[in-house]
Amino acid sequence: MRDSDIMEIRQLSLFDGMSDPHFDRLTRGAYVQTFPPQVDLIHEGDPCDFLHILFEGSVELFAHWNGRESTMALVRPVSTFILAATIRDAPYLMSARTLEKTRIVLLPSSDVRAVFDEDHAFARAVVAELAQCYRALVKSSKDIKLRSALERLANYLLRQRQRAGGAAAFTLPMEKRRLASYLGMTAENLSRAFKTLQPYGVEMDGAHVTISDPGDLITLAKPSVLIDDPAQ
């Protein structure tokens, strides 16, 4: 890896408290790779050989069962995936593919586990990240189980608006069929839900969304900090 890549990794909260010898040991077998869109990075059920760190682009995490596929999460920079499998030396529970040109750092899982056992600051950072992932999973489960499909879509759009800095217009980060899968809907139900949201100020033009009156949409969605706020 280039020195600039190593410095970029060092600045991440997962690694910034580590001792220099342990960090050097962790990164000695690491490498950086750039992938084009629609490349499968890992496969569900395979052994976890590397911890992936996403620096540029976006990655879809998805799973299969009985001939069906579902989008589980969308990973954005800068973040790791899939840390739990690395620490447990367990098979991947999800697959991953790139959605656009993507730059990823790969750290050998065996090195991650070895340093985890020896470096207390790194171990605490790993626990903190796993706790954050667990809470995100609970929020996702609450979103699916407690809200109707229309409420899930409305809250998703409000979260995307917030990520866009409160802009009235933004672009969906994934194509609609993947969005439907992520929200636990069929493509047809998603299309009907977008039409149902038109009286609440939601307009669609391809992948571009405009929310002309967020107040009406908020009244419908009833967002909760215990589901929708990533900081909680």
Instruction: For residues 160 and 183, give the distance between their C-alpha atoms in angstroms, rounded to a whole number.
Output: 14
Same domain, 33 and 137: yes
Residue 166 buriedness (CB in 10 A; 0-12 / 13-18 / 19+)? exposed
Q: Decide: helix, strand or coil at residue 52.
A: strand
Instruction: For residues 37 and 29, give the distance between their C-alpha atoms in angstroms, rounded to a whole number.
Output: 25
Does the structure show a pLDDT above 80 at 1? no
Cα(first)–Cα(last) distance of the chain, in Å? 35
Q: Please give the pLDDT value at position 46.
A: 97
Same domain, 82 and 180: no
Label residue 4 by pLDDT band (50, 70, 90). confident
Q: What is the mean pLDDT of residues 49-68?
A: 95
Same domain, 132 and 108: yes
Mean pLDDT of the chain: 94
Question: Out of 6-15, 52-61, 106-115, which region has the weakest mean confidence (pLDDT)?
Answer: 6-15
Label residue 230 by pLDDT band (50, 70, 90). confident
Q: Please give the pLDDT value at position 2.
A: 83
Q: Please give the pLDDT value at position 33.
A: 95
Residue 85 CA neighbour count, 13 Å, CB half: 21
Final residue of a structural domain among 104, 119, 144? 144
Final residue of a structural domain among 127, 144, 161? 144
